[in-house]
Structure 1
């Protein structure tokens, strides 16, 4: 089969775009590659710009894209430590890739000789110079701190590694009217069911896709969420209307292992496919906001707050460890703000 690959910059990150005619076998193969993503905007699959991927698609070698031999060994040890502490696969990948970026920058330096000043230099000469985000910088800091906490002989003083100042960003929220348009736009009952469940229960995408039929307690109208973020279980109330929809859905699809399965029985639905479903719905409804699945969770929390639900209950429903995380929704709730009268009205 004919294909073409080239280096692109997507969302300020170097990626390898792979172009080929639609083919189920190729799509299945590329999905298995670490870090692969589908871009609706570009209309193609793309992968991290790594030595392995450049070799795989016969592209020019990437210079200085690997740490030193010592660095590679240390990253493998770091992965083993994270796995032994039961970090999720996504966290292991994120942290080890972040550490790899840092150790590539210092590939000519022994790990034991790296200091706090080197972290500052990396931030200035790599993060800021390449206009990388503060959240990515935070990932690097988290990975470096965790890594050097496990290294005994080092010049690094872990407690003095500084973080970038957090941006005061507000959560993105949809109005109730927009949510209603989104949930009613799809004729496919599975897609409508998944989007409705995220909004009605305030679920993270991963929590939705990990649901199994046994997690639905229809007698008590509850949903049991196993191993949510931070490995914490919690329960959330299930709307009677959602329960009726679930019964109709179950009769048609008869899921076996997961409540929402993909084309292959026993495997959960793909997160990227669900995000694509939402994008298609947005186009259909004419909503121009760049909404993501997480916007539905944010909207659930904000709409609860606006209806008078106590913030402590919302914290429990969302599975937030700290009330400070939940308090951010008070800044996007319009209930009190809309009651404020502008002095302009008295002129």
Structure 2
């Protein structure tokens, strides 16, 4: 996904530019992220030491799943890449739980992500891994001095639900991410646990799952479709992110509604979108053509490079052996010459 992320808001600055380590710290984002992590730790303490409730744990898991799908299936594949179409109800659900994910509005998230794909691995990439693991994972969120170019998402602004979420994002984030879980927790007498564990502990885990697409999925794994990209296919990241870990494929074919294209590859987002298409909730699922052709071409290129390297090594070895043989022959010739030119021993007395 690769997936992009912003905490609460982007900072001001030149549109379309990626931040770097020289830009000022965004104290709003830094403070928000720090406080959320502290409250997330408090959630673990509450469940472990104060009041354990299976209902609270179940709510946290449900909220994690819904928010995770809102990012992968909604923000990423539906809005940023328009890989499929969804009816108004699913769109509204994506926007509600997307706000609970506290990764900015669908408009700003998608704009950043489109820049990431258009300028991947360059200075214009907002979260380029070429600036290091920490920068790609979370460092870019903590620096200010730039703004999101909403001119890149004019198509999304036509959607009234997307515009509504954009205008009322902070309110929706607080309601969906904290207030609603707390109110649900009242049903079994654990509103504080629901707020802390389903609200903040869940959010910390979800943030780092999303962050991992920008960091780990650009450093660990294979590159079967595009060996020039830093994006990699990682089943480990896929497990953490509802299928977003097949990132090399995604960067080569970003408009495909799938990330894991094989039936056995773990991509629950793909399975949900496909299943919804059978009952009319989603439609116009886009699929890449000739994907296997690119994979075979990459494999052939790697084989050719390996063969060339082997030939070069063999040539170097042969040259070294020839040089050694020549030197040995030369040494032998010098030894023979020295032996024949040596004076004969005189008579013994």
* Structure whose residues are more often helix by fraction: 2
TM-score, length-scaled by structure 1: 0.25
**Bigger RCO (CA 8 Å, 6+ sep):** 2
Which structure has more strand as a fraction of its residues?
A: 1
